[in-house]
Structure 1
Amino acid sequence: MGDISQLKQIRPLFIALLLLWPINSQADSPRLVIILADDSYPPYSYVKDGRVTGIYVDLITQAAQKIADKYYVKIKPLPWKRALNEIKNGKYIAIIPPYQHLKSRRYIKPYSVSLLSEKVVAFCHKDINLIELIKQNTTALNRPINIGINAGYLILNDRLIRAKHNNKIKVWEHKNTQANVNKLMLKRMDCYINDSLSTLWILKKLQKDSPEMNFDEIEQSFVVMERTAHIGYVNSPSYLFTYKDDFIKQMDQAILELKDAGELDKIVAKYLQ
């Protein structure tokens, strides 16, 4: 009887330890954090040979190594517009690399520290003077100027937005930079607006793949805007991603340390070789 009585006393403690074991085991493991990334925005974020790569991908991967004791960061590439919808629907915690659009993308908040400053430029055929043609009273063209942008991008400045409302320009969204550059080369678009470095990267690649291609008739018309790129976090109730505030703090600190140490400069140089 004494042995049975002792077993009855031990059993509740044994059950409690079993219940606690998975919790403690899980707590000791780094938490998985999935960050969505534009799958076609070279050299910043793109897929090559089946894996996601790029300047921002490398920077975040290195930053993630600094906080690997608490977080296991995985970067998942998706088409930009689809990635934005996933964030809007609250399915993932973060996305790279949006500019800050506090009013038009209220579902993204907050933003990380700056990853890098980007220069958005209009690339046009030499016979298209975009600045002159979008002036209020110009009659130089009897049709709207066809401008290509990447699907889901918000990169028109106030002057171009007014020109769009006044039917001076017509904006066409295409899948990615490559698709837009191809249409520009075929003169299906008068201009293409995107980050300067990304566009030049694609032009260089096309020229390498097809030396016979001639880009002499394409020029950078004017700088549309300069913006900083960030990790954008889902603007969701805290109970959905209870770790969000701590992750943002740690990731921001890791990114700043890498930038201060000159690691970002090394990453950029690698992709511009």
Structure 2
Amino acid sequence: MTVKDGAAGGLYAAILNEAKERLGSSELEILAVPWTRATVLVKNGSAQGLVGSYYKPQDRPWIRHWSEPIFHEEVSIFCRSGIAQPGWIYPDDYKGLLFGNVAGYRAPGDRFFELVAQGQIKLEEAQTTEQNLSKLSLERIDCYVVERVATEILIREKNITNVDNVGTASMEAAYIGYSDKWTGPEADAFIEAMDAVIKTMKKDGTIDRIVSRYPES
């Protein structure tokens, strides 16, 4: 998510605002914060749900319930122009390159982080996608693995012309991950109601229509 005019913006915010209307919940607040901070807020119970989380229970044991999947994200490899060669297989053919990543973001995959641990891929982490794209366009890093739709929107908004989408790393279902600090009848009732609304929004085509508003989605 992004911040627009002081409020959460972007694809997830649009989906959740529609869900909020259907739930009739005036207490539902959507915050757009850096990913690392978001995970800390949900882990310690200061926030109740982590939006856009992938199903990784080993990495996030503090999530007690994974929602109905919101939709499937395409996790893409973005590199500065001329770095990646046609036919490269991710991540092994990218050995020796310097990647950016949002701190705590595991979408690059287990094999990627194995190569990082072995010193065969270099990693430099930042707090936001905007920071990583800036470093990529300034040629301070070589590549960056991240969700495609929101990233391509940022690339167009910032008029970045020297960064290419060179391939797909994975397809991931995106969920709301609910904190294990948030329990009780009211929490369970909200989770059940939100899951039902997400199912309905998928079935009636609402989520597809929201996604289609975003160019090249």
Bin of the TM-score, shorter chain as denominator length? 0.7 to 0.9
2:11 partner letter: I
Q: Report the counterpart of residue 106 of structure 2 in structure 1.
A: 154
Report the CA distance between 1:133 and its aligned residue: 8.0
Q: Report the counterpart of residue 12 of structure 2 in structure 1.
A: 56
Report the CA distance between 1:71 and its aligned residue: 6.4
Q: Report the counterpart of residue 203 of structure 2 in structure 1.
A: 260
Aligned mates of 1:237, 1:201 — CA distance in 2: 34
Q: Report the counterpart of residue 175 of structure 2 in structure 1.
A: 230
Q: Structure 1 residues 191, 95: closer, same or farther in 2, change over 3 A?
A: same
Q: Structure 1 residues 235, 204: closer, same or farther in 2, change over 3 A?
A: same
Q: Structure 1 residues 111, 260: closer, same or farther in 2, change over 3 A?
A: same
Aligned pair 1:214/2:161, yes or no? yes
Matches within 5 A, 1:10-29: none
Aligned mates of 2:21, 2:161 — CA distance in 1: 43
Matches within 5 A, 1:73-152: 73-125=28-80, 126-129=82-85, 131=89, 134=92, 144-152=96-104
1:163 is aligned, of 110, 115, 139, to 115
Please tell me whether the aligned partners of residues 118 and 195 of structure 1 are also in contact (alpha carbons under 8 angstroms): yes
Aligned mates of 2:192, 2:67 — CA distance in 1: 9
Aligned mates of 2:182, 2:9 — CA distance in 1: 31
1:236 partner letter: K
Consecutive aligned runs of 4 or more in structure 1 exceeding 4 Å deviation: none
Q: Structure 1 residues 173, 132: closer, same or farther in 2, change over 3 A?
A: closer
Matched residues, number: 213
Matches within 5 A, 1:168-207: 168-207=120-159
Report the CA distance between 1:151 and its aligned residue: 2.5
Percentage of matched positions with identical amino acids: 28
Please tell me whether the aligned partners of residues 67 and 195 of structure 2 are also in contact (alpha carbons under 8 angstroms): yes
Q: Deviations over 1:181-221 (max 9, x none)?
A: 111111110111101112211111122xxxxx532xx3333
* TM-score, normalisation: structure 1: 0.71
Q: Report the counterpart of residue 2 of structure 2 in structure 1.
A: 46
Report the CA distance between 1:159 and its aligned residue: 2.4
Structure 1: which 5+ runs fail to align? 1-44, 208-212
1:244 partner letter: A
1:253 partner letter: A
Please tell me whether the aligned partners of residues 118 and 226 of structure 1 are also in contact (alpha carbons under 8 angstroms): yes
SS at match of 1:243: helix
Report the CA distance between 1:104 and its aligned residue: 0.7
Relative contact order, CA 8 A, sep 6+: which one is greater?
2
Q: Deviations over 1:219-245 (max 9, x none)?
A: 33332211111111002373xx44122
Please tell me whether the aligned partners of residues 64 and 72 of structure 1 are also in contact (alpha carbons under 8 angstroms): no
Q: Structure 1 residues 224, 244: closer, same or farther in 2, change over 3 A?
A: same
* TM-score, normalisation: structure 2: 0.87
Aligned mates of 1:103, 1:150 — CA distance in 2: 19
Aligned mates of 1:92, 1:201 — CA distance in 2: 27
